[in-house]
Amino acid sequence: MKKIFPNCIFYGLSLLAIFSLSFNSCDTSSQKKTNQLNIENHVAHFDYFTYKGNDDFFNNNKLPGDDYFYNPILPGWNSDPSVCTNGKDFFMVTSTFSYFPGVPLFHSTDLMNWTQVGHVLDRQEQLPLQGQKVSEGIFAPAISYNAHNQTWYMITTNIRRGNFFVKTKDPFGSWSDPIWLPNVHGIDPSFFFDEDGKAYIVNNDEPVGEALYKGHRTIRIHQFNIETEKTFGSHKMLINGGVNLNEKPIWIEGPHLYKIKGKYFLMCAEGGTGTNHREVIFKGGSPMGKFKPWDKNPILTQKHLDSDRPLPVTCVGHADLIQKENGEWWSMFLACRPIDNEFENLGRETFLMPVKWSEDGFPYMTLGEELIPRIIKMEGLKRDSTVTFGNFEKNDYFDSTKLGNEWMTLRGPACDLYSLTDNPGFLSLKCAKVSSAELKTPAFICRRMQHHKFECTTSLYFEPATEKEAAGLLLFKDETHQYFMAVSKSGNQKEISLNKISVEGSEKLAQQVVDAKSKPIKLKVVSKGTYYDFYYAVGTDKWKVLCKNISARYLSTAESYGFTGTNIGMYAL
């Protein structure tokens, strides 16, 4: 019987979960070789993958109407959001660092309902990542629309290669190869296209001469020729250090330049990526002119609030502004949801809230003791089935010939390591000689964890040829912080184990030998927020406990380092 997609639940709304879009570089023939699974050595065949969010906040705080949404609007690791519009369509991008494909592209017509329509960087020639650590790669993409030539631009940093941009006339289609900007140094570039047709790039860069303190950075501006696609003239420093250089502000970055009611606004992040993160604003008379800070900065932060407050939102900053057709201004920004204000393993997520305006004409999102709202009303709109927020369920039965948009690999497309057509209805994953601890491309197909509490399951057929081969579910924060729930060979039987991967290597935390010859093995991870429980089942047997109360903190940024959240997916070694 042909398998069909199950319903996905969004706040009681049902829709068909369709995984039709793909890694463009991994297109495969739609011809199906056989309807019968061909179990072979060195290959694990995954029958399905399910993910179901179960966060307490969403369960206990129902949305009061159809015109409300939850924050974060993009839960799970979706950092450094940037948004733009042509007046009709909105597009948003976020950072992907060393994951492939790069820079997810989300589309909306109303700012509330978003759908991922692809990736901006979906070809290897756009995305050289080999040898880069998981928190290197692509930093802070910024998307812009130039009304003068009806072209969309995405500019970003490949931390090992420099700054570049890609462009397109059709954001739903393919984007150009990288156009490198050798004269734009530092990180976090973004375009500004002025009403007079002139174009500029603003970016974070080192100070002139010796830095005055650790984290001392500047914001610079470059003139850009749209025809030659090169910068010209000398660049200029707009901001030195931040709002107040005497206070030694660190890491001013993520600049965006706007023209609003005849005035130019330069908005940036300050304070690093931790709890001191904040957004600040400056006003000037021209793009190349002098910019003065608002005397009530920062315009968005939670850094000064009581750390014991309930349901804290922290690390707030790296914002972008966007105006709707009805004149309303809104802001996209990143923030974290730590558990008990201690740690999280979801990474920095994308939040959305309305912009307010001061009497002296400055935009701001929070002042004083104002909190980031977790539930927001957007007047005149209605949630539809594409909502990306709250508790939801996503299931993939691998009935397509292409991987869906939520799936990622490390540093490359891994086309030679998996197939959706060798055994239709299965994800067939080859045991690779590359491990997830190496700076290469392992046989790992993953998605973001998007909830503190969730349940994830899979089922696989796997006949390992040697005791060194293993396949199962990998929970991956970085090269040295992982949990691997593995199926492997143990004499004439199979072993199911949980392995903690660290800088010292792999440590077995639990193991169980089972008789599972030619039978599928089901694996389940249940996240309770601060810990994980692991279960298994052989064939049609009931779930059995492998181990419980395994620390989730181990996969958090508080325990490790880096700019990503934790991902989970299928892995073979």
CB proximity list for 370: less than 8 A, separation 6 or greater: none
Which secondary-structure segment (H or E) carries 520?
none
Give the span between the Cα atoms of 121 and 43, in whole angstroms.
29
Place of tokens 């309930």: 310
DSSP calls for 102-122:
EEEEEEESSSSS-EEEEEEE-
Report long-range pairs for 366-374 (Cβ below 8 Å, ≥24 apart).
Answer: 366/299, 366/300, 366/301, 366/302, 366/316, 367/296, 367/299, 369/305, 371/302, 371/305, 371/309, 371/313, 372/71, 372/302, 372/313, 372/316, 372/335, 373/71, 374/57, 374/61, 374/70, 374/71, 374/311, 374/313
Give the span between the Cα atoms of 406 and 116, in whole angstroms.
8
| Distance linking the first and last C-alpha atoms of the chain | 31
Query: Cα–chain-centroid distance for residue 236?
Result: 32
DSSP calls for 404-430:
-TT-BEESS--TTTEESTTTTTSEEEE
CB proximity list for 387: less than 8 A, separation 6 or greater: 10, 11, 69, 112, 113, 114
CB proximity list for 64: less than 8 A, separation 6 or greater: 375
Q: Which residues are catalytic?
A: 80, 253
